[in-house]
Amino acid sequence: MFYLSIHGGNSNFDVIAFNENCEILGRGHRSGIDNCFEPQQTVLRHISEAVIECVVDLYSLGFSGRFECVYYCMVAKSNLLKECFLQIGYDIGEYIFLEEPFCYLLAGGLTETGCVALSSTGSCAAFCSGRNDLLITGGYGIPVGDEGSSAYIGIRGINMVTRAIGGWGEKTILYDFLCESLGNNTAHVDTVRLLQLLYPENNYARRLIYVKFAQQVVRAAGCGDAVAVSILEEAGELMARQTLCAYRLYLSGARGTQNDICMNHRGREQGIVDLSFDCSTHGNQTPGVYVCGSTWKNNPIMLNAFQSFVSRYLPEAQCVETKRAAVYGGFVCFILETYGNSALKEAAVHLDPLQGA
């Protein structure tokens, strides 16, 4: 029997195939699901190409075109996934949807329970205790927040450059790095030229410029740039606040996704958000705290700020920086639900050489 695990993120679309013996048999990769600007046909093509790349070697192993189950996580356009399988002609026994932070928790922590601080192109935070028992906060989208994400860090970096150009901000090496990353190596870039570079077509800012510039903020912080350091420390604290808030809301009985929380106004009930905890609500067992996503890579300043803030409220919590890609979440979910916790050590043996973004 054959199974698929799929993660359709903003920047990457990944697929893995495996069998009932927990053997990973194929992988496929394409660029991500841009739910703002990519035409539907482009997204559908990316999905089809990644799936076909993953499946191409299965036919020699007896694959007949049927998958018993597809575990999937899609940040947008999940309807196109099923349309893709219909067009290709695959027979799908069952679809199981997994929330993105839960995928990262499964893949990175090999567990169903814990706090998750997910920072990649976008960001969110969650407390999970199984795939149907979780609370997610943040993740509203880059235009209205996604605080602590790569896009947020990149935008904050560009904000600080424009302040420096205008004369009311601190001098920062980010100015030079921005000119370099935009392909403009001239000595001077004013705000007019900067806007022309950031909004090249139809007045739409290219989101990937912001995401990629986050890497330059990390680079500048490594050079000791005070402005860049402050941006990363702020991002780490913001992720910590969201993570603690998700755990507190979970303990108060809230469940669901960010949209459920918005509709119910749960975050406003106490006016000023209280991040403290009643120890009796979670006993003596402090949950693990897992930081997931590409933003954390080679970013010790942000991670240290995150850990420092979390330790104020959960001093016993162990913060774990995970390495595995979210696409392995469906694989781990299958193992847990089919064979139980005892099979997780074997899963780790399969996954350790396959760490990814």
β-sheet bridge partners, residue 6: 15, 72
CA dihedral of 239, 240, 242, 243, whole degrees rounded to 10:
110
Alpha helices in the chain (DSSP H): 40-55, 79-88, 100-109, 150-166, 174-181, 191-198, 207-222, 226-251, 258-264, 300-313, 329-339, 344-351
Q: Please answer whether residues 137 and 240 qualify as being in contact, where contact means their C-beta atoms are separated by less than 8 angstroms.
A: no
Q: List Cβ neighbours of 345 (8 Å cut-off, separation of 6 or more).
A: none
Q: Please answer whether residues 165 and 194 qualify as being in contact, where contact means their C-beta atoms are separated by less than 8 angstroms.
A: yes
CA dihedral of 151, 157, 163, 164, whole degrees rounded to 10:
-160
Q: Does domain 2-97+325-354 have CATH number 3.30.420.40?
A: yes
Which has the closest alpha carbon to 117: 235, 211, 35?
Answer: 235
Q: Which 3 state secondary structure label does DSSP give 318? A: coil
User: What is the per-residue pLDDT for 5?
Assistant: 97
β-sheet bridge partners, residue 320: 290
Give me the amino acid identity at 267: G
User: What is the per-residue pLDDT for 56?
Assistant: 94
φ, ψ of residue 115 to 5 degrees: the values are -85, 145
d(CA 299, CA 292): 12
Percentage, residues of the chain above pLDDT 90: 52
Q: Which 3 state secondary structure label does DSSP give 63? A: coil
- Average pLDDT (224-249) is 96
Q: What angle do CA 2, 348, 46 make, to 5 degrees?
A: 50
pLDDT at residue 349 is higher than 90: no
φ, ψ of residue 106 to 5 degrees: the values are -60, -50
User: What is the per-residue pLDDT for 254?
Assistant: 85
pLDDT at residue 243 is higher than 50: yes
Task: Quickly tell me which residue has 């979440």 as its tokens.
Answer: 329
d(CA 237, CA 207): 23
pLDDT at residue 272 is higher than 50: no
**Of residues 35 and 201, more confidently modeled:** 201
Q: Please answer whether residues 15 and 5 qualify as being in contact, where contact means their C-beta atoms are separated by less than 8 angstroms.
A: yes
pLDDT-based confidence at residue 66 (cuts at 50, 70, 90): very high
User: What is the per-residue pLDDT for 192?
Assistant: 72
Q: Which 3 state secondary structure label does DSSP give 6? A: strand
- Average pLDDT (246-251) is 91
Sign of CA dihedral 157, 163, 167, 169: negative
User: Residue 78: how many CA atoms within 13 Å on its side-chain side?
Assistant: 14
Lookup: tokens for 209: 């410029």
User: What is the per-residue pLDDT for 265?
Assistant: 44
d(CA 12, CA 4): 16
